[in-house]
Amino acid sequence: MENQTMTKARTGSSLTACCSAKPQIDDRPLLSQELAGDLESLFKVLANRTRLRMLHTMVCCREICVTELAERLSMKPQAVSNQLQRLVDRRIVSCRRSGSNIFYKFVDPCVQILLERGLCLIQDTHNALTPALLGQGDVRPAWFNPTENASSGPEDEPDQ
């Protein structure tokens, strides 16, 4: 299993550093209810515009104090601190005190990769859908099939 994981390890220093010791998603068993709930909880914490912007800023700066982060986001330091506390509670970011300042940074390089993958997905989907929006035909991704899960209409019901 270890050789298979290492063989499947993707190139790119940040991804390899993040996931090299963990099995790839397609090598893992189906998520248990408990693990799916943990993942849902993580995504709920991340599903916040302010916290996503904070994380992006931390990725760019590596480490930043509350007052500078508040200035960059045009927010009050107390509001920034409240949001950062949620990220600290989930161990997504860590903090250290230096004098009267508290500095924050993300803990795991997987955070950066998750942001990059999310942005990639948004951009790929947007780029695929833009020509259709401009009247250039249906260029939706192959996985997009809005009728696949639709319930059948009255015309599909057998005659009685």
The 10s digit of each residue's pLDDT in 60-100 is 998 999 999 999 999 999 999 999 999 999 999 999 999 99
Total domain count, the chain: 1
For residue 158, is pLDDT > 60?
A: no
Do residues 80 and 66 lie in contact, with contact meaning Cβ atoms separated by under 8 Å? Answer: yes
Q: What is the pLDDT of residue 70?
A: 96
Domain membership flag for residue 137: no
E-assigned strand segments in the chain: 64-65, 93-98, 101-106
Domain membership flag for residue 51: yes
Question: Each residue of 89-134: pLDDT tens digit?
Answer: 999 999 999 999 999 998 888 889 999 999 999 988 877 776 655 5
Domain membership flag for residue 62: yes
Domain membership flag for residue 71: yes
Backbone φ and ψ for 122, nearest 5 degrees, come out as -60, -45
Q: What is the pLDDT of residue 136?
A: 56
Do residues 68 and 80 lie in contact, with contact meaning Cβ atoms separated by under 8 Å? Answer: no
For residue 38, is pLDDT > 50?
A: yes
Looking at residue 103, the DSSP 8-state letter turns out to be E
Do residues 105 and 115 lie in contact, with contact meaning Cβ atoms separated by under 8 Å? Answer: no
Q: What is the pLDDT of residue 62?
A: 87
**Residue 4 CB coordination number (10 Å):** 11
Question: Is 142 strand, coil or helix?
Answer: coil
Give residue 99's domain range: 31-108
Domain membership flag for residue 148: no
Instruction: Give the CATH number of the domain where residue 70 resides.
Output: 1.10.10.10
Domain membership flag for residue 149: no
What separation in angstroms does the CA of 6 have from each of 18, 24, 27, 117, 157?
Answer: 13, 9, 12, 21, 52
Domain membership flag for residue 99: yes
Q: What is the pLDDT of residue 13?
A: 40
For residue 7, is pLDDT > 60?
A: no
CB pairs under 8 A, 24+ apart, for 40-44?
42/90
Domain membership flag for residue 159: no
